[in-house]
Structures are given as structure tokens and as C-alpha cells.
Homo-oligomer: A and B are copies of this chain.
């Protein structure tokens, strides 16, 4: 049960705990920063939850029979509390008061609970969690517990590497280390793609503002390590636990060339620095970042009759979360970084649905997304060649730059026949190649970024048009057809001459003719370079023959 009242323009609020709707809240209240996405599973575990920590661009393939996907990294958010012998569990005892809210302004997730344990004892708990928009690797949590009576609190918290993608495990068992008896470090590696992950956690307790070191012991089991703390607290005393965590990987651009040991040392140093800052100081940073990068830069105001203002901000929040603006070797996954769906793959959604927002508000992000397409030309060439075509045929689903197509070939089983269902998108939903060209053009039209066009844009558009020239099929009617495709309406497969596809291809070839002429006249050096790559002279002749014969309804 979410509160969408009009008065509330910055916060998504859950007003009742519903154990049957965990997934919905985990995804909607997701935290992240484009580098990492962290589903908002509660600190304590419940049956049916999905704990996901996804790091953009760290694709791994579980087996030859599966496609590459974003691996689900070890969990650092689980904190199990035992309050005077009763496990903190909202399906037990009585919830006296409850709210969970996500503050879109700064990305702070807060849960406040007044709970009567099955033993009849009252506890006030406040859980806060953040992923920093400034420090891309940092995850911080704060738990404040105030018992109504003297209490013994047991806290179990650490790093748990048993997480999988719905049962598929992408990581080695990993190295467990801890330093100074308080810094936990877990270093697994993705099995197929060989990416090293370093995850760290540490804990800091304060009572009435004074730091204290409770009795603790360390447990190391298969794929996980955690500390157990025991504290005695007086009635009405607030115990505050701050948990600082981070994740670094060997794919991080700024750490290129680091050895595993250097990566581990760097992560540990960052952890200590975050711990020193403390939760409040860490939280102040993303608040300023969000304001600067999003809310002041794209201050969309809607004075509607409903929760429109909240909804648009919710969309802006999630677009910020899901977009790896820090690295042009990566793009946006169809489910962002908020869960395992669509495996982190990039679809046409980038160009058609998401790019306009970035073009108009954060053009440098839009450029990075389009650079990803340029960098993934090797995969697009490979796909075209594999299918017997020329030029760049972009994959329907895209992951690594040189992967080419990563759409699963089969998904599920037909209820009636018992046979596997073929996923046709990867084979014949070909409009993506025209969508990419359209995205480039749209970016250029709105930004006038000539540098981008000269380096990447013209080549992308011409390379795409080369594919189309080889894909058009002459029909008995003297027209050129594009048969057997899936258009944007994915309920219809094996369609001939899909209107969206044919029009965009016609437009794409027209632009290619226009730009190749213009380049020859105005930018002879660039033209010469592209002509050598693509054979523009012959191509333009072909395009000119084709363009007016394309079947359009």
C-alpha cells in the first residue's frame, strides 16, 4: 500500500508492510547511481525476497546454453537483529507503527517501525540506507534501535555471496578476508568473464552519541562472512549501528590495470575513509549531487490533479539510477539496475524512450549512450556477417561491445505442445538498426554536437544504411520489401513490410544519401576515411536506386 497523495511531491511512501509484495517495493524503492543498483530488500530477510546488487557492465555467461547477463553480486544489506531473544521479524509480534519511504531528493531510504515482539516488549527501530550519487562505490546504512525496556541486542551482519540470478551462480566461491578484526572483505570473480569483485563492510556502534565496541565474533562459512555483536542497552537508550560497505570491480575504468591486491587495498582504503566520514556526512554529498545534476538541471514542474509531480520525479530518479553515465562502454538495461529481468541488456528503449530525456537535459549522458553504439559496431558487423548481410546490424539485445546478439534463443515452453518457445526478436526484430540511426540524428539535431557526428555519428548512420541496402528484397511488384520481421508490436511475428520498420529504413537511407553527399562536398577528409571503410561511392549509387522503390503504405 503506497501513499501517492498529491501533497507529497518528493517521497514514495509504503504505509503498510506487505510480505506478499516484497518484490514490488524492492524494485520501486531501488537505490543506485548508474554504477551500481541495489534492490531495497529489507535488512532482515523474508521468504520470497530478491536481494540484488548489480554493477553496470559486468556481464557474465553462466553456461554455453545461457546468454550473458549482469551477475548478482554478494549482499551487504542483510542485518539480522535479535531483541531480547526475539528475532526482529515483521510477520511476528505486532506492528504498532510503520512507514517506509524513499526520498527522491537525495536517494535516502528510511523505514520506521514501532514493534511489539512476540514476548510483548516494545522496540522503536529506524533503518536508513543510501547509495551515494557522488561516491559511486559506496553503500551506507544506519540502524537506530530504542528499546522500551532494558534489552540485550544481538546483531548479525556481514557479506553474503550465496546470492544468484534465479539459481544461476556467476561467481567463484571467493576469498574471505578481514583486517583489524573489523573490516570484512570478500573477493569473488565472475567465472566466465573473469571480472574480480571486491566487496567490503564494516560496522560502527554508538550509544547516546558515544562510540562503543560491543562484544563480537567473526563467522566465516561457505561464500559468506559476518560478525555477531552482543550489546546490553538500558530502556530508552538509542543504539546506533552504522554499516559502511562498498563494491569495486576490475572493470572499473578509473582502476584499469590494478592487480587484484591493488583493487583490494584501494577498496579497503575507501571503506576506512567512508567510515571516518560517517553516515550524515556521506548523506550530505548525494543530496547536493542530486540537486545539482538532476533537480536543478531538469526541474520539471507539473501542476496536475493527481500525483503527476511525484510520478515525473520518480521517473527522473530511476533514469538517473539506471544510466551508467560514467562509462561509454556501457548502456542502459531494460530493467535498469533494479532487478534481474532482461539480464541487464540494452534494447531499442534507449534510443526511442530514454534518449530524448538525456538529449534535452543532460546531453553529455546522451552522447555517452550513443558512443556505446559506436563502440559496439564490431558486434553489429559480426551479426550482419553471420546473417549474410553487409554493414552494421545492431543486436536486438546488447551487452558486451563485441558480443553481437545476446537475445536468448528460447524462453519458456508452449503450454499446448510442450515445445520450447523460440524468441524471434533476436532474429528478426530488425528495426533496432534504424532506431540507432534515428537516435544519432535526434541527438545531433537537438545538440548540434558536430564533434560527435564527425567522430562517430556519420559513420554509425552510414554503416546502418549499408546494412539496409543489403537487406531490402525485390518483389514481383517492382518494389523493395522488408519481409519476415517483428515490428514494435511484438505480439505479431513474421510480418511483411511492417510500417514502422519500412518508413524508418526509407528515412535512414535517405539520410545516408544526404550525408554522404554533404561529406563529399564539405568534409573531404572525413569522406575519404569513411569511403575507405564503407565503400561510400558504390553504396550511394545503390541507395539512390533503392530509396524510391521501398514499399511504403
Contacts and interface: CB of A to CB of B under 8 A. Distances in A.
Given A173-B66, A177-B418, A413 B164 contact: no
A301 interface: no
A167 B172 contact: no
A220 B413 contact: yes
A62 to B, nearest CB: 8
Interface string A53-82: 000000000110110000000000000000
Given A47-B47, A218-B415, A415-B218, A420 B167 contact: no
A503 interface: no
Nearest to A47: B47
A225 B413 contact: yes
A164 B172 contact: no
A476 interface: no
Given A92-B91, A163-B167, A164-B162, A413 B178 contact: yes
Contact of A63 (B172, B225, B418): B172
Given A191-B63, A418-B177, A222 B163 contact: no
Nearest to A218: B415
A96 B221 CA distance: 37
A176 B222 contact: no
A521 interface: no
B225 A176 contact: no
Interface in A157-213: 161-164, 166-169, 172-173, 175-179, 181, 191
A168 B47 contact: no
Number of copies: 2
B178 A418 contact: yes
Contact of A168 (B66, B173, B413, B420): B173
Interface string A412-448: 1101001010000000000000000000000000000
Contacts of A91: 91-92
Nearest to A175: B420
A178 B217 CA distance: 50
A223 interface: yes
A173 B410 CA distance: 12
A46 interface: yes
Interface in A1-41: 20
A45 interface: yes
Given A46-B47, A63-B191, A175-B420, A412 B220 contact: yes
A112 B222 CA distance: 35
Nearest to A412: B220
A474 B20 CA distance: 70
Contacts of A169: 62, 164, 167-169
B418 A223 contact: no
Contacts of A173: 62-63, 65-66, 168
A172 B410 CA distance: 14
A161 B413 CA distance: 15
Contacts of A223: 166-168
A29 to B, nearest CB: 21
A403 B179 CA distance: 36
Contact of A179 (B46, B168, B220, B418): B418
A71 B415 CA distance: 29
A56 to B, nearest CB: 22
Given A66-B173, A173-B65, A418-B177, A222 B166 contact: yes
Contacts of A222: 166-168
Interface string A465-500: 000000000000000000000000000000000000
- 3 interchain residue pairs of minimum CB distance: A162-B167, A169-B169, A167-B223
Given A66-B172, A162-B164, 5 more contacts: A162-B167, A166-B221, A166-B222, A176-B413, A225-B413
Interface of A: 20, 45-47, 62-63, 65-66, 87, 91-92, 161-164, 166-169, 172-173, 175-179, 181, 191, 217-218, 220-223, 225, 412-413, 415, 418, 420
